[in-house]
């Protein structure tokens, strides 16, 4: 087999093996919900979140009304299938029709900055 093809196949296999889109968090039932996501305004950067942390727009975090603090949630933008894993550290959103508020870093990863609001699917493990 040609060395270039073999190198390409090896590199492709390595990338595929390292790419992680699964939901971290160990044991528990996987919960899936769909709804609208928005992202935090810059005015909240540096403010305290509901769990006592300082909010930072450049971290992969989110607010949800009920999911336990510290839960890792996979958020997938249904218009482009891009996903990001965020950690819940705040409560909200408090705007009707919205399910989750993302940090700006998370919103950028799923390419929803221009839209402002996007239909998403969230997946997480319910802790036993």
What CATH number is associated with residue 69? Answer: 2.40.40.10
Peptide bond just before 93 cis, omega within 30 deg = yes
Q: What is the pTM of this model?
A: 0.79
3-state secondary structure of 102: strand
- 61-64 vs 83-90, strand pairing mode: parallel
pLDDT tens-digit profile of 89-104?
999 999 999 999 999 9
Taking only Cα atoms into account, the Rg of the chain, rounded to an integer number of angstroms, comes to: 17
Residue 72 near residue 124 (C-beta atoms within 8 A): yes
Instruction: Specify whether the CB–CB gap between 117 and 77 falls below 8 A.
Output: no
pLDDT at 113 over 70: yes
Per-residue pLDDT band for 27 (boundaries 50, 70, 90) equals low
**Residue 45 burial class via C-beta count within 10 angstroms: exposed 0-12, middle 13-18, buried 19 and up:** middle
Give residue 33's pLDDT band: very low, low, confident or very high (50, 70, 90): very high
Lowest mean pLDDT among 8-22, 26-40, 76-90: 8-22
Q: Average pLDDT of 99-122? A: 98
| Residue 20 confidence class, pLDDT cut points 50, 70, 90 | very low
| Number of compact structural domains in the chain | 1
pLDDT at 48: 97
Q: What CA–CA distance (Å, rounded) separates 21 from 115?
A: 23
- Is the per-residue pLDDT at 114 higher than 70? yes
More confident residue, 25 or 40: 40
Q: Averaged over 23-43, what is the pLDDT?
A: 87
Domain, as residue range, for 78: 3-126
**DSSP secondary structure string, 50-83?**
TTSPBP-TTS-EEEESSSPTT-EEEEEETTT--E
């Amino acid at each position: 087999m040609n060395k270039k093809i073999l190198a390409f196949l090896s590199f492709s296999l390595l990338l595929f093996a390292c790419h992680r889109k699964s939901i971290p968090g160990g044991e528990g039932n996987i919960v899936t919900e769909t709804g609208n996501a928005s992202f935090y305004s810059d005015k909240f950067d540096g403010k305290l979140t509901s769990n006592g942390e300082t909010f930072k727009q450049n971290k992969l975090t989110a607010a949800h009304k009920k999911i336990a603090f510290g839960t890792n949630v996979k958020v997938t933008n249904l218009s482009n299938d891009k996903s990001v894993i965020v950690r819940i550290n705040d409560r909200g959103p408090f705007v009707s029709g919205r399910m989750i508020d993302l940090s700006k870093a998370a919103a950028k990863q799923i390419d929803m900055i221009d839209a402002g609001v996007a239909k998403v699917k969230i997946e997480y493990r319910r802790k036993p």
